[in-house]
Structure 1
Amino acid sequence: MQHRFHVNASSDDDFRSSRNIAISLFKRYKNVIDRGSGDNLKEFISAGVNAYALGCTDEGLRKELMDIENSGLEIEGLGSCGGTSLKFKVHSSEIRECILWLGIVFITILCTPQPTVIRWSPTPPVSADVLHQWKGFCALIANAYYVKGMAWLPVKTLQLEQMAVTGTSEKPSVVASRMQLVFSTLEVVSPQWPRV
C-alpha cells in the first residue's frame, strides 16, 4: 500500500511565503528544544514535510532566518499553556541546528523507497555538501526501518558512519537524537505499523 503525504497548509498563513515557512519551522524547532520531543517533534517534521513538498530548500530557509536574525526582529513563540506567548530573538547557532534538522528531514524523505512526498520543484532540497554528509546516515536508518522493521540502531554504527564521511563523530546523545529525528520522519511520511 502506498502512502502519500498531503500538504496541510494551516489557516494562519504559515505556508504563504518562504519567510513564513522559515518562521513556522523555527517556532516548532524551539518548541522541541524548550518542551521536549514527542508531539512537538512530529509537528516540526510535519512542517518540514510541507516545506519539502512546497519546493523549499535548506539554504533558502536558512537565508530567511539569517535575514530575521540580522534585522533584529523578534519571533512570537507558539502559545504556551498559560495562553501567553513569548517573543524571542533568532540566534545563528539555533538557525544552524534548526536547518540541520530540516536537512535531515529532507534527506530522509529522499531515502524512502517510493516518492512518499511529491515535491513541487525540480530544485534539490539540500545542498550537495549536506546530502554527502547525511545521506549514508539517513539511508542506514531507512534501511533498518523498511527492511528489518527496526525503530532503533546502535549509536556506535551511526557514529562510525559519521566518522567515515566527515572524519569526526558527534556525542552519543546527539547521534541518538538525530536517529530519533530520522525514525520519526519515516513514521510520519511512511507509517509501517498500525497504531495500537
Structure 2
Amino acid sequence: MLTSSMSYISISPYTYNTQILYNKLCRPCWALKMHNISSFKFDFVRPWSHGMWRSLSDCASTRNHLLHRFHINASSDEDFKSSRNIAISLFKRYRNVIDRGGGENLKEFINAGVNAYALGCTDEGLRKELINLKESGTEIEGLQIYGGGTSVKFKILYEEVRECILWLSIVFITILCTPQPTIVRWSSTPPVSDDILQQWKGFCAIIANAYYMRGMAWMPVKTLQLEQMAVMGSAEEPSLVASRMRLVFSTLEVVSPQWPRV
C-alpha cells in the first residue's frame, strides 16, 4: 500500500516527458538506436561495430585510468584482476556503507561499480561469484577503518548478496540513462539482466530526467513509489525508496557532475 508520506526537497518543480526522456537520456554510449519508446526496450549492439575494439594491454591501461579517475580506494590492483576479486571488492564496499553509513562510503561503492561496468562485468556474473563464495563458506575481510586498525572478517548472507547486486544493477542502469558519451564499456554483453532492467529502468530514468533537465538533487518519494506500483505491482517503504533515489543521484554526480564542487 502506498504511504501518504511526501517528504522531499526539490530544487525545481518536477515534471517530465517520457518521449523527451527516452530520446535524450536512455541511450548507452555504444547503442545505435532504441526500440519504440512505448516498448521500453534497449537495442544493445556490439561495440566492435563502432571501431571500439582495444587490445588487452589497452584494457589494462583503461582499468588503471579508471582507478585514478574515480579515486577507487583499492588495497591493490589485485582487487580488479578477476571477476571474483571485483565481486569481493564491491561487497566489501557495500558492507562498509551498511556498517558505517553513506557519504564517502557510498561514493566508493559507486566508483567501484563504475569500474566494474567499464571492465565489462554483469550483475548476474558478479552475483554468481558472490553466491559461490557464500556456498563455499568463504569469509570476507572487511575494509579497515580509516586511521588503521584490524579489519573484521564476516560471512556472506544470501540477502546481502541480493541487495548488494541490486545496488550494483541500479548503478549500471543509471549509467545507461546518461547522455552519451559517459562511461565506455569494453564488452558487448548487456550489463544488467532483462528482468532487472525492466523493473528499474523507469525508476532510474525519471531521476536522471529530473537531474539533467530540472537541475534537481532530490524529488518526491511518492512519484517513485507510483513508478514502482506501475511496474512491479507494489511499492517499497518510503525510507527504502529514498535510499534507492539517493543511490541514483549519487551515481549521476559521480559519472556526470553538473555543478562546480564547493
Return the TM-score normalized by structure 1: 0.95
**Is the counterpart of residue 21 in structure 1 residue 86 in structure 2?**
yes
Equivalent residue pairs, number: 192
Is 1:195 the equivalent of 2:254? no
Higher RCO structure (Cα 8 Å, ≥6 apart): 2
**Residue 58, structure 1, aligned to residue 123, structure 2:** yes
Q: Distance in 2 between matches of 1:56 and 1:64?
A: 11
Taking the TM superposition and a 5 Å limit, the aligned residue runs for 1:105-184 are: 105-184=171-250
Aligned partner of 2:66: which letter? V
User: Which range is displaced more, 79-88 or 36-45?
Assistant: 79-88
1:36 aligns with 2:101: yes
Question: Is there any run of 5+ residues in structure 2 with no aligned partner, and where?
Answer: 1-62, 69-73
Q: Distance in 1 between matches of 2:256 and 2:77?
A: 27
Q: Which residue of 1 aligns with 2:149?
A: 83
Mapping of residues 94-109 of structure 1, within 5 Å: 94-109=160-175
Q: 1:8 aligns with which of 44, 50, 67?
A: 67
* AA aligned opposite 1:192: Q
CA RMSD of aligned residues (A): 1.3
CA positional deviation for 1:115: 2.9
Provide the TM-score with structure 2 as the length reference. Answer: 0.72
User: Between Structure 1 and Structure 2, whose CA radius of gyration is higher?
Assistant: 2
1:151-192 CA deviation, whole Å, 9 max, x = no partner?
001000000000000100000000000000000000000000
Q: CA separation in 2, counterparts of 1:133 and 1:39?
A: 28
How far is the alpha carbon of 1:74 from its aligned partner? Answer: 0.2
